Structure 1
Amino acid sequence: MAAVSELNSDDARVLLNALEKMRARDGLTLARLRDSKSDVSAPFLELSATRRYATVHNLELPDAALEVVGQCVRTMNGTDQIVADAILALGLFIEVHKQHKVDSRVIQSLTSSAVGRRRKALLENWRRLHESMGCPATDPPSDRALRGTTERDVLRELARQLIRRELYSAGSKSVVIPTPSDNTASSNSQITKGKVIVIGGACMDATFRSKSLPARDTSSEAYGFDLSPGGKGLTQAVAAARLGLDVSLVAAVAHDRFGQEIIHHLRDEGVDTSMIKVVDEARTPFTGVIELELGDSIALNWRNQMEVHLDVRDIDRRAEQLTNCDAVLVTFEIPRETVQHTLAVVHAEDDDRPLVIVTPGQPYPDQGISQHSLAQIDYLVAHPWELGRYAPGGQERFDPDPVARNMLAHGVESLCLLVNGGCTVYSQTTHETLSVPHFPSIYKESSAARDAFCAALAAKLIDNNKVFSEHAAFWAAAAMSCATADFPLSNSMPDRKRIDALLERSRFTVKAP
């Protein structure tokens, strides 16, 4: 938790004052944030967290500020969420209230342009709104207590949440907002737009945010929840698109509302969905995630592979595209036979074939892929725990170094072992071991950080005519660090400018080839 002195800083007081002004009349609306004649919007627009969100999601500052405020409100406890949403007229939970049959007139009143009407709707429907949000409700405060105590306490907590995001999102000060004079098109034209195909999983992530894990046979309250498209394949595709690559995803999705949401999300991110297999009369795979405050998490996968999966025929249908792209990224989310067949198809023509980058997660429970297939991998990007089956015989404890060398002996060209935000690269070609330092962050490596690494490694190798260099590994590690540092964002995959900005501020230096 942030120190008391930080939460009571001048910046926090400025934000509290601005929130109190926004509470009046219309509330904290996009129109008021866009009002260039008003000073009340400045504290929100000047936040580095806002600037970073604007850069990552290619938004105008007012739109980004509204998103950042909304994200902070969602991390508050139930009553504070409900009060903040109503008194600032944010409308964050309209769909939730509709689903729980809250009267439409009440919902309309909660987003009214008159703060008095919003307060009245809040107090008269106090218990009903708490039931809709799934949180316990005490007796509603009086109108006087709401105005004099409750609202100020809630706005003070919201200001604190904004300051925490400002202080503890490592790298936030490195974001550069482009000015109208920036020649973005000219800059991007100097980068080769490589063709990448990602073959992996696409599912829905149900993420519960909690301060601790409940003990067995008990339960505990989560302070946040999110339902969003996920999967390693999907995230790597989005990460590659953020880096300006021409990306297609090969995955299987169900023909249900969640499958449609996955496809719409990919299209919004600039990922080609023409190679996605849509399965009728099937249910979308889900991953349940419990995410702790600093980003570390545990997950339980339900892949529904009996209904939703890629088989070798799906790969054969896309063989021509696979052999004519620059890089193929593969995850173990698809059946082992499909992974092995994919590698064989890519290697059908060894002359100027695509690079192959493989993510061995989730490891197959019964056995790994064949040694012949291992020898067809250019870069295996793994966490140490995923390689336990490849430990040399007689090894009493898990030691990453002999395991890595055993992987090279099995034929893997290069192994990128990710540990604590850093990377060690073992190369069969150079017979060297390269240790890439990590960039410190208050947050722990998130599940998406490796996906950022894989996409960035592919991008930099394509930039460098598929030739590996120390700079390529360093740049990919920086992308991973950006994804970790930007963990509070709903989608933390960095673009090239974000990565370069982090490297410019780094104390480490590696010259580009």
Structure 2
Amino acid sequence: MINRSDKQTADVLLLASVLEKLRTHDGLTVARLHANRTGIAAPLMELAATRRFATVHELDVASAAFDLVANCVREDLHGTQQIVADAILALGLHTDTHAHAGLDDRITRSLYSTSLGRRRETLLNHWHRLHEALGHQPPEAPSDRALRGTTEPVVLRELANQLIRRDIYSVGSKTVVMLDAVPAPDVTPAGRVIVVGGAVMDATFRTKTLPAPETSSEAYSFDLSPGGKGLNQAVAAARLGFHTSLVAAITDDRFGEDILQHLRDEGVDTSLVKRIRGRRTPFTGVFEKELGDSIAVNWRNQNEVFLAGEDIDERSEQIAGCDALLLTFEVPRETMQQTLAVAHRDPADRPLAIVTPGQPYEDERISRDTFGRIDYLVAHPWELGSFASQGHGPFDPDPVARNLLAFGVETLCLLVNGGCTIYSGPAHDVISVPTIPSIYKESSASRDAFCAALAAKLLDNDRKFSGQVALWAAAAMSCATADFPLSNSMPDRQRIDALLARSPFTVNGSGLV
């Protein structure tokens, strides 16, 4: 029997050898990967992680392989290793950073030259300046011989190790079907989705351990990117093919502009966004460990950046006329209740209402009428604590869930560890949707994928809920969890269908087995 660790080591060595061959001449390029698809580049092109990247980002396999390597260098290599890999492979990751740091353009051009020898020479001649440009304390520069014989092989082997790690430790990566293997649907899904919620900037520190009180620790990666439940749900719905609009309060500072551009790049309509001038963008600080465990601190700037009832009234025609409304508790309680009231102005012809109670309102009760206007409440069990009676006994989400249905919520979806428990119907029937496992922890973005997929499948099926609808939404959540290392893990329909096609679970009546 072959030991798995031995096989993994062999795979790393093979891939490191491929990278060593691809560093020659003009380095790693999409054209070179495409030309050598069945030759020296084949092991890199055949990685399941490459296939998954191609599917998620709708790229051809050569472009996906290049972007995957660039992503690994940017996210998984640090300090000297990142600088060396970027230069030796001629990836060009730090062109803008070098310009901002004042490096002469001739240095940058030489660093990414089509000659490997020239790239090495530039790297060694400007060793300290290149490190300082990226904010790193430069170690002693190696000799040319040490660079070639020691530093480069170590760096490329570590890069190969990270590529293999992505190949192994993302459950679901092997389920990806290449874009040309599954025919795309002929018809774009009909329907309009409006999301009312928050749009913030996420400052994410990735660390192996959290520091103890009165100490500090080093993060191995940092990312500044648009986030918020409302924004993520809008992106997720757009990925599933719907005409999607976001209603959110966004400032006019540089971060607000970044948020708007991100939404436009993802195909989300921003015409209903409220622009607030002269204020600062809300932020979420996230400390994220390697497998997805995280803690977060929110600064909502809610006294200056928020949606008010009149903002909803100004958009009432669009909200009442959409097919599905996705609403989060990121907006003030009065605004949330006003939004649901607007959506229900014509009970006979109203949008489907899916609500996310995160973060729960503190010391603010929700009206009984509001509960009756929620078709689907998608929550984590702990979020039901604000709806429970204040007793001294242990918190039990089951009776709280049944009470919410008694108050008028049509269906409650409780998400737990990648699966969910569904409470629905006049008899408060319970459906357990199994977990499709992943090595990574379920993230907040996973719930956003679930909400968008739930809306999509319900609209596909004339709003009829079933175990199959629940399983499809849970599969979307599993895809987002399995694709955690990617910069945007929201799945498209093909990704979800591919995962389900290889899932051991089937639907039997209203339940799942």
Judge same fold: TM > 0.5, yes or no: yes
Distance 2:385 2:59 in 1: 43
Q: Secondary structure at the match of 1:236?
A: helix
Residue by residue over 1:175-195, the C-alpha shift from the partner in whole angstroms, topping out at 9 and shown as x without a partner, is 111328x652xx242x74221
Q: 2:8–2:164: 8 Å Cα contact kept in structure 1?
A: yes
Structure 1 position 438 matched with structure 2 position 438: no
Whether contact under 8 Å (1:192, 1:462) holds in the other structure is: no
State how far apart, in whole Å, the 2-side matches of 1:372 and 1:483 are. 34
1:58 aligns with: 58
> Which whole-Å CA distance do the structure 2 matches of 1:155 and 1:316 have between them?
57
User: Aligned AA for 1:29?
Assistant: T
Letter in 1 for 2:386: R
Deviation for aligned residue 1:383 = 0.8
Amino acid at match of 2:30: L
Q: Is the 8 A contact 2:468 2:507 kept in 1?
A: yes
TM-superposed CA distance for 1:96, in Å, is 2.5
Pick closer, same or farther for the CA change 1:101–1:217 going to 2, 3 Å: farther
RMSD: 1.9
Q: Output aligned runs, 1:182-221, within 5 Å.
A: 183-184=183-184, 187-189=185-187, 192-221=189-218
Amino acid at match of 1:15: L
Q: 1:32 aligned to 2:29?
A: no
User: How far did residue 471 of structure 1 move?
Assistant: 0.9
Per-residue CA shift, 1:216-268, capped at 9, x if unaligned? 12111111111111111111011111111121111111112222221222122
**Aligned position for 2:144:** 143
AA of the residue aligned to 1:79: T
Matches of 2:344 and 2:37, distance apart in 1: 61
Task: Give the alignment's TM-score, normalised by structure 2.
Answer: 0.95
1:295 aligns with 2:292: yes
Q: 1:280, CA displacement in angstroms?
A: 1.7
Runs (5+) with no aligned partner, structure 1: none
- How many residue pairs were aligned? 507
| Partner amino acid, structure 2, of 1:309 | F
Cross-structure match for 1:162 = 163
C-alpha separation between the residues in 2 aligned to 1:370 and 1:12?
58
On the 8 A contact 1:249/1:272 being kept in 2, the answer is: yes
Aligned-partner Cα distance in 2 for 1:141–1:508: 55
**Structure 1 residue runs of 4 or more that deviate by more than 3 Å after TM superposition:** none
Give 3-state SS (helix, strand or coil) of 1:503's partner: helix
Once residues 123 and 218 of structure 1 are traced to their aligned partners in structure 2, the CA distance between those partners, rounded to angstroms, is 36
Distance across 1 between alignment mates of 2:362 and 2:129: 47
Q: How does 1:443-462 map to 2 (within 5 A)?
A: 443-462=440-459
Please identify, of 389-398 and 317-326, the stretch whose mean Cα deviation from structure 2 is larger: 389-398
Give the AA of the match of 1:104: D
Q: Distance in 2 between matches of 1:228 and 1:394?
A: 41
The more displaced of 423-432 and 445-454 is 423-432
Quote the Cα distance in structure 1 between the aligned partners of 2:6 and 2:444. Answer: 32
Partner residue of 2:267?
270
Deviation, 1:496, is 1.1
Q: Which residue of 2 aligns with 1:230?
A: 227
1:17 lines up with 2:17 in the alignment:
yes
CA deviation after TM superposition for structure 1 residue 365, in Å: 2.8
CA distance in 2, matches of 1:32, 1:368: 61
The alpha-carbon deviation at position 83 of structure 1 amounts to 0.9
2:338 partner amino acid: H
SS at match of 1:228: strand
TM superposition score normalised by structure 1? 0.95
1:72 corresponding residue in structure 2:
72
Aligned pair 1:493/2:490, yes or no? yes
Cα contact 1:412–1:428 (8 A) shared by 2: no
Instruction: List alignment gaps of at least 5 residues for structure 2.
Output: none
C-alpha separation between the residues in 2 aligned to 1:329 and 1:376? 12
Deviation string, structure 1 residues 31-65 (Cα, Å, up to 9, x no partner):
21232587233222211111111111111111111
Residue-by-residue CA offset, 1:483-508 (whole Å, 9 max, x unaligned): 10111111111111111111111111
Which residue in the other structure is 1:404 paired with?
401
Structure 2 CA distance, aligned partners of 1:496 and 1:421?
Answer: 18
* CA-to-aligned-CA distance 1:354-398 (integer Å, 9 cap, x gap): 111011111223324323212211111011122212223435212
Structure 1 residue 482: deviation in Å?
A: 0.7
Aligned residue number for residue 135 of structure 2: 134
Q: CA deviation at 1:351?
A: 0.5
The corresponding residue for 1:256 is: 253
- Could you tell me how far 1:80 is from its partner in structure 2? 0.8
Q: Identity of counterpart residues, as a percentage?
A: 63
Q: In structure 2, what is the equivalent of residue 506 of structure 1?
A: 503
CA contact (8 A) 1:294 1:443 kept: yes
- Determine whether 1:371 maps to 2:368: yes
**303, 310, 318: which one aligns with 1:321:** 318
CA distance in 2, matches of 1:257, 1:361: 26
Q: Does 1:109 align with 2:110?
A: yes
Change (3 A) 1:72 1:354: same
